Amino acid sequence: MTDKPSNERGLCELYANDPEHADAVVFGRRAQADRRGFLKGAGLAAVSAAVGAPLVFHRTFPSGLIPAALAQDATDFRLEGKDGLVVLSDRPINAETPAHLLDDDITPIARHFVRDNGVMPEAARRLDASGWSLSVDGEVERPLTLGLDELKRRFKPVKLKLQLECGGNGRASFNPPVSGNQWTVGAIGHAEWTGVRYADVLKAAGLKSSAVYTGHYGTDTHLSGNPDKIPISRGVPIAKALEAHSLLAFEMNGEPIPAYHGHPVRLVCAGWPGSVSQKWLSRIWVRDRVHDGAKMESPSYRVPRYPVAPGTDVPDEDMVIMESMPVKSIITWPQSGFAVAGREIELRGHAWAGERAVKAVDVSIDFGASWIRARLGAPPNRYAWQRWRAAIRLPQAGYYEAWVRATDSEGAAQPFAVAWNPKGYGANGMHRIAFTAS
């Protein structure tokens, strides 16, 4: 186990220049404080002094908890065209969105997280689709090669609001830490995608009865510069590809897909780890077996087939491919650190549940001792996130935390602390923010 999250160049530079700041960016101040034992065993008075206000629900404040007020990230890095995102790495580009910037129902392009495994293709950077084509081959009756105009002309356009979440979102909450980008809560976005159905394209090619899985390829290149190496090539079972919400998208929020997000065409196979939604899509290889492309192999995007104790070494053969992402929610208003004047506050945010729907959202302001049911909106379409709101009365002035917990259509609820796994996937512990009332 390593506590260095990544050996990618951007982070190395960051560590070389300012290791303390790098720790805060990469692990979050919460983990940083944890590792130093900063708040270990701190008494109530010390906690109150640290957050700058008395703890109203001090009787239910769990010992050893780091107050959410001290668990915020900061960074000086900026990504062009991305507004306020926290850059975890600049090569490859990995940037997440602070929770309060995810308040919109549709995430603006400037606020949608970016997760690259390799180097963005040059043509995409110039928004040049002239040389682009997509091939569909393998276990099909009629292999296809499609240009952009043909793709748009031949198949019916579909517009859907779809959540896209990185499998590693929330990894920073793992203890012991696991390697990889230390995403906190913001490797999630919810855009309106326009495209054609993956199913329609596969039907046009004619699936053979031997077709069981897809293999996706993009035009991005490997970080090493070696043209024989592929940064990522994942796939899905045929049933997921044929699902009516799986798209070959060419527009994001009504614009041609921007360079960062896969110009000119990407897949969106919602509800599953974001890695199956290939950007800069150039080839679909229909397979007669589970695809074995880059990052399909164990332990990438896999979780143990049985529960494991934190820190356990799990043999590769006991790791299974992650499919649906688990139920999750975030508080998008207020921003952590907000000062309320008065005794009333309306909290709001979004909730989503991978392949499932969200059935209920509950909020606590007393560290989980009691819960308040939030109002929950219906999703505009399947795989869209759902808006929740909760009007709360505060008993007195002081320091509060708001915790949020969503429950899905099968009754699965978010845990306080996530089940640990070796690669840090599917972390869905409750989101917490801090606020004070005066």
Ligand X SMILES: Nc1nc2c(c(=O)[nH]1)N[C@H]1C(S)=C(S)[C@@H](COP(=O)(O)O)O[C@H]1N2
The runs of H, that is alpha helices, within 131-260 are 148-154, 198-205, 238-242
Residue nearer to Mo ion on the CB measure, 188 or 345: 188
Asked if 213 interacts with ligand X (CB under 6 A), we say no
- Least CB distance from residue 275 to Mo ion, whole Å? 4
Which H or E run includes 375? strand 375-376
Distance CA 296, CA 333 (A): 37
> Which amino acid, 4?
K
Options 49-57, 114-122, 198-206, 329-337: segment touching Mo ion (CB under 5 A):
114-122
- If the CB atoms of residues 181 and 407 are measured against ligand X, the closer one turns out to be 181
The amino acid that residue 10 corresponds to is G
The binder of ligand X chosen from 28, 264, 274, 426 (CB under 6 A): 274
Three-state SS at 281: strand
Site for ligand X contains 177 (CB under 6 A): no
SS3 147: coil
- The CA dihedral of 229, 231, 237, 243, to the nearest 10 degrees, is -140
424 binds, among Mo ion, ligand X, none (CB under 5 to 8 A by kind): none
Q: 156-175 mask for ligand X (x: CB under 6 A)?
A: --------x-x---------
Residue 106 or 308 having the CB closest to ligand X: 106
Q: Could you give the CA distance from residue 390 to residue 157 in angstroms, rounded to a whole number?
A: 37
Smallest distance, ligand X to C-beta of residue 12, A: 19
- The site string for ligand X over 81-120 (x = CB under 6 A, - otherwise) reads -------------------------------xxxxxxx--
- The set of residues, in sequence order, having a beta carbon less than 8 Å from that of 350 and lying 6+ positions away, is 102, 190, 329, 330, 332, 385, 386, 387, 388
Between vectors from CA 228 to CA 225 and to CA 229, what angle results, nearest 5°?
A: 65
Contacts to Mo ion from residues 127-186, by CB under 5 A: 166
Count the site residues for Mo ion by CB under 5 A: 4
Which partner, Mo ion, ligand X, none, binds residue 30 by CB below 5 to 8 Å per kind? none
State the number of CA atoms in the 13 A half-sphere of 352 facing the CB: 25
Q: Answer yes or no whether residue 278 interacts with ligand X by CB under 6 A.
A: yes
Question: Which stretches of the chain bind ligand X, using CB under 6 A?
Answer: 112-118, 164, 166, 189, 218, 220, 231-232, 261, 274-275, 277-280
For Mo ion, the binding residues (CB under 5 A) are: 115, 166, 274-275
